[in-house]
Amino acid sequence: MPRPDPCWSCSEYMDDEHAAAASAMRRSVELAEADDDQVGAAISRSVELWARYFHDPCEARLEEMFDEGLRSLELFRERQNSDPRAFRWVMNALAHLVNTAFILGDAARMHEHLRDLRANPWLREFGFETMLLQYEARYAMCEGRFEDAVREWEHFFSRQPVGHPDEAGAWKTLDHGVALAGCGRTDEAASVFHRGLSFSEKGANNAFWQARIREELAKLG
């Protein structure tokens, strides 16, 4: 039996159809394991766990994601010289660990994996070093260094192509706005939050993050 199409499943994931995406990716995990494709199974499991978190966010799911991320990272590192998917997913796994630690508010775990992400060869080989700026900004936020975070976010956004749709725009504008509010720049924060609400709800889990943007806007009064 063919596996669920990853593009189709990820499309559902990105369009906030999280329960359907999680179910499809669980089937993809099972079929990959039946084919002894450990790398494919680990990739599908990562998407599945994020989809389950977005469908039902809680700390326990985040800790499950973090533990699974560590296991997957070890596998990807073992296979990165023989499987190009694993080479790419060392970077993805590190980024997921950094983001998960950020949501958990764990600066120590963020630092540990951000250090490895900074040195990741995939980013250099394919010219994606600017991706690091968003993780540096979140790390600064996690440590309460909001002025540093604002600088990192502004640097990040200045390096994005004009007119290029941001894959996870609502999440990034949420965090940029929170950093601005942390500096007392509430008018600018409100402007950024409203920009985040302008993104289409269909795409990049925007609806999930836009709900949190509304919560942050309410705090501004």
Q: What pLDDT, on a 0 to 100 scale, did the predictor assign at position 201?
A: 80
Q: Does CATH place domain 128-221 in 1.25.40.10?
A: yes
| Alpha-carbon torsion angle 167, 106, 220, 145, nearest 10 | -90
Task: Tally Cβ neighbours within 10 Å of residue 78.
Answer: 14
Q: What pLDDT, on a 0 to 100 scale, did the predictor assign at position 200?
A: 84
Query: Per-residue b/e over 110-142, b at no fewer than 16 CB within 10 Å?
Result: beebbebbeebebbeeeeeeebbbbbbbbbbbb
Residue of 214, 220, 162, 211 whose CA lies nearest to 189:
220
Q: What pLDDT, on a 0 to 100 scale, did the predictor assign at position 151?
A: 98
Contacts of 165 (CB under 8 A, 6+ apart): 203
CA separation for the pair 139, 175 (Å, rounded): 11
Structure tokens at 67: 């533990």
Q: What pLDDT, on a 0 to 100 scale, did the predictor assign at position 73?
A: 98
Q: What pLDDT, on a 0 to 100 scale, did the predictor assign at position 167?
A: 67
In which residue are the tokens 């179910």 written? 23
Q: What pLDDT, on a 0 to 100 scale, did the predictor assign at position 143?
A: 98
Q: Is 99 in contact with 132 (CB distance < 8 Å)?
A: no
> How confident is the chain (221 residues) per 10-residue block, as mean pLDDT?
44 64 90 96 95 93 96 98 96 97 98 97 90 97 98 94 70 97 98 94 84 97 80
| Amino acid, res. 220 | L
Q: What pLDDT, on a 0 to 100 scale, did the predictor assign at position 41?
A: 96
> DSSP string spanning 67-94?
HHHHHHHHHHHHHTTT-HHHHHHHHHHH
Q: What pLDDT, on a 0 to 100 scale, did the predictor assign at position 202?
A: 75
